[in-house]
Amino acid sequence: MAEQRIGFVGVGRMGGRMARRLIEAGRDLTIYDSNEAAMRTLIDIGARRADSPAAVASSTDIVLASLPTPPVVQSVALGPNGIVEGKRAKVFVDMSTTGSIYAQRIAAGLAARNIAAVDAPVSGGLAGAERGALAVMVSCPENVFTEVAPVLSILGKVFYIGSKPGQGQTMKLLNNLLSAAAMAISSEAVVMGVKAGLDPKLIIDVINAGTGRNSATADKFPRFVLPRTFNLGFEVALLDKDVRLCLEEADALGVPMIVGNAVRQMLAITMASAGRNADMSEMVKPLERWAGIVVGEKRS
């Protein structure tokens, strides 16, 4: 039996790294992106170029996608020249973060053309995509999961969340809500400590040795805030989108999100002061300005 041919739509910062992993693993990969330059680097190492998502789906068996917003994902899946118009692919794997409502809508639209929809959002950022160390949160029928798991395992650790469309998306939103909350509250704690005269590196070291340790103190502060690089690679506007989707789902489920709404306010303040394209690690900056201090490694 011939090996499955894989397609990939959206080969930007995240998608490009995932696509490269697939090529390096020896997979036959056909790609499409609206940015020609993004495709060129992958074509140079063996990817095939397609002119549209439909063209990708006409020459491959499984199509993966990594795209910025829910409307873009829906357009790629169901719109003109979209996956739904492909002649060959029977599985569409969305690795973007869209929320469960869009995942359900896309699954229904593709089912009408006998194409199985898999929502498989990822966590781990650019570094995780580079190393093939992402957490991949998959929901789809079990027989489809069996088909896509070998491909997705090239990209990271695969978790089967459930069989219903959107369950993987819900899991991703919970993860990103916690990630945003950790960054927001850690920023408040560290800014307070520096204002009180404590060494910021020592603050982080003590927190990471105790019960306050979290993803922001363990990774984001040491790597991006203390050295003042702010280049984690995840825009605050995208995180705000994820938190908004999470709050909308929580509201639909009747689950109160008191802390979640406060986190969303902090994201709004960051975007207003630093810009929508600011790195999520820059959430500390408005607090620094209000406190009149700068968090950074103490230098002799």
Per-residue pLDDT of 146-173, as tens digits, reads 999 999 999 999 999 999 999 999 999 9
What pTM value is reported for the model? 0.92
Active-site residue flag, 285? no
Q: Are 267 and 285 in contact (CB under 8 A)?
A: no
Write out residues in the chain with pLDDT < 70, as ranges.
Answer: 1-2, 297-300
Per-residue pLDDT at 164 = 97
* Number of alpha carbons in the 13 Å side-chain half-sphere of residue 250: 17
Per-residue pLDDT at 3 = 75
- Check 172, 220, 241, 285 and give the catalytic one: 172
Provide CB contacts within 8 A for 203, sequence distance 6+: 189, 190, 193, 194
Domains of the chain: 6-165 (3.40.50.720), 170-291 (1.10.1040.10)
Per-residue pLDDT at 297 = 64
